Chain A
Amino acid sequence: AQSVTQPDIHITVSEGASLELRCNYSYGATPYLFWYVQSPGQGLQLLLKYFSGDTLVQGIKGFEAEFKRSQSSFNLRKPSVHWSDAAEYFCAVGPLTGGGNKLTFGTGTQLKVEL
């Protein structure tokens, strides 16, 4: 069975500081990994995705994530956080094809940015 763990429920950072959100996954095959962001009362927006190739992937809004197979991790990073980055972030894992293409989501990390 596939699963995703986001160990940090809440994270607070100062504006301009660096950010790293952790994601660990369990998946029996080559995983297809995603990071999404959600503003209050809104749907989820895709930040970035990974399924093969360079293990460091770039996304929108200055975010990047690094896939580490040996650690089953896909951590999200940003060098300098802006106040507008305050939101909830979700990591997800699923198959590239097959299995209904179902994604499994983590429980999310709420990011607060202090000015």
Chain B
Amino acid sequence: DGGITQSPKYLFRKEGQNVTLSCEQNLNHDAMYWYRQDPGQGLRLIYYSQIVNDFQKGDIAEGYSVSREKKESFPLTVTSAQKNPTAFYLCASRDERGAGYTFGSGTRLTVV
């Protein structure tokens, strides 16, 4: 079945550490997105990519970085510059027909 796989499901980060969240899709979608979810704040866009080797900052890109070397993969790195990284992170993709986003099941990141 086609879909989006996010890993790991739970991730713990120590202070000053960079961590990378994985997002893989087999839907052949060009566009991919990373959102951050905090209680009571809905989903906020971190980065998005419309095509391989190209990506754009979203509303809250500071402290995050991404790459898009393959169509199927859009990893998100949470750097030590992100001062409040504890959140639920959601990856999504969208096809050219605009049929809405398909979401992964999320990664919960906690600072320890």
- State the main secondary structure of chain B at its contact with A: strand
Whole-angstrom CA separation of A105 from B102 in the bound complex:
14
Identity of the chain B residue whose Cβ is nearest the Cβ of A100 in the assembled complex: B48
Contact B101 A44 (CB under 8 A): yes
A103 and B105 in contact, given A9-B40, A44-B90, A108-B42 (Cβ under 8 angstroms): no
Q: Is B2 an interface residue (CB 8 A)?
A: no
**Hey, which chain B residues are within 8 Å of A105, CB to CB?**
35, 42-43
Query: Assuming the A-B contacts A42-B105, A43-B103, A43-B104, are A97 and B98 also in contact, with contact meaning beta carbons closer than 8 angstroms in the complex?
Result: yes
Q: How far is the CB of A58 from chain B (nearest CB, A)?
A: 15
B46 → A minimal CB distance (Å): 11
Interface size class of B (residues with CB under 8 A): 20 to 34
- Please provide the chain A residues from 26 to 57 with a CB less than 8 Å away from any CB of chain B in the complex: 32, 34, 36, 41-46, 49, 51
Cα–Cα, bound, A99→B105 (Å) = 25
Q: Complex: how many Å from CA A63 to CA B112?
A: 41
- 8 Å CB interface, B79-112 against A: 88, 90, 92, 94, 98-106, 108
**Which residues of A approach B to under 8 Å, CB–CB?**
4, 9, 32, 34, 36, 41-46, 49, 51, 90, 96-97, 100-103, 105-108
Q: List 15 A-B pairs, Cβ < 8 Å.
A: A9-B40, A34-B100, A41-B88, A43-B103, A43-B104, A43-B106, A44-B90, A44-B101, A46-B101, A90-B43, A100-B31, A100-B56, A105-B35, A108-B40, A108-B42
